[in-house]
Amino acid sequence: MSYIYSLLKGAISGLLHLMYSLTGNFGIAIILATIVIKIILLPLTLKQDKSMKSMKVLQPEIEKIKKQYQNDSKMLNQKTMELYQKHKVNPMGGCLPLLIQLPILWALFGVLRDPVTVPQDSTFLWMQLINPDPYYILPVLNGVVSFLQQKVMGSADNPQMKNMMYMFPLMMVFISYKMPAGLQIYWLASSVAAVVQQYLIMKKGD
């Protein structure tokens, strides 16, 4: 596991320095590196976004099954899984992009903490990249973008997910407000790209 972490950290460090050599600012370099990472991961995330779109289309059928078998949990689970299998939908598909992001975040955190790789006085706008945003602007923006992401995914149309539409953005603000600003920039840029991509898939079709 440490080998994979070192490999990922080295790749992100090299990408970040390449972007820094083009821009002269590590904040802008993080944004450009984020775009490159999103492009590399595009085949995986496209597949998951299409899976989420299929889940949204199937929601009326799922609600019918719940009403029909509300007193028989075994049949409810069986019929629901049969519906997923018939339409080749993975109900956990939406979790994969988040799981992919975590090791990238850990590796980027390691890169930002390495003074040899990123000078500790590196700044972007009003922030030092190794310290949290002193005005909490980035955490709030991350929460807003997270809300938009839930909206695009159609969480409001799913009674079970409706609460998450409001809870998840609040969790994002709470989780990210102590993150180094460099990580928050990466997360915000990645989330904005994801919202645009999901909008095109969910609203505009394949």
Strand partners, 127: 124
The string of pLDDT tens digits covering residues 55-84 is 777 778 888 888 888 777 888 888 888 888
Average pLDDT over residues 89-114: 73
CB hemisphere CA count around 37 (13 angstroms): 30
CA-only gyration radius of the chain, Å:
20
| DSSP-derived secondary structure for 110-121 | HHHT-TTTS-TT
- How does pLDDT run across 12-31, given as a tens digit for each residue? 989 999 999 999 999 999 99
Rounded CA gap, 200 and 78, in Å?
32
Residue among 35, 33, 181, 190 at smallest CA distance from 113: 181
Give the pLDDT of residue 80.
Answer: 82
137 vs 148: which has the higher pLDDT? 137
Is the CB of residue 12 less than 8 Å from the CB of residue 104? Answer: yes
Comparing 122-136, 137-151, 160-174, the range with the smallest average pLDDT is: 160-174
Residue 37 in this model has a pLDDT that exceeds 60? yes
Q: Could you state, in order of their start, the residue ranges of all structural domains in the chain?
A: 1-204
> Position of tokens 């919202």?
195
Q: What is the reported pTM?
A: 0.74
Distance CA 143, CA 158 (A): 20
* Portion of the chain with pLDDT greater than 90, in percent: 17
For residue range 105-134, list pLDDT tens digits in order.
Answer: 788 888 887 777 778 888 898 999 888 999
What's the pLDDT score for residue 58?
77
The pLDDT assigned to 65 comes to: 84
Take residue 159 and report the two structure tokens written for it.
């009674």
Q: Tell me the C-alpha to C-alpha distance, in Å, between residue 80 and each of 3, 92, 199.
A: 40, 13, 26
User: Both tokens of residue 27?
Assistant: 């904040």
Residues 6+ apart with CB under 8 A from 170: 143
Rounded mean pLDDT of 128-151?
88
Residue 172 CA to residue 144 CA, distance in Å, equals 9
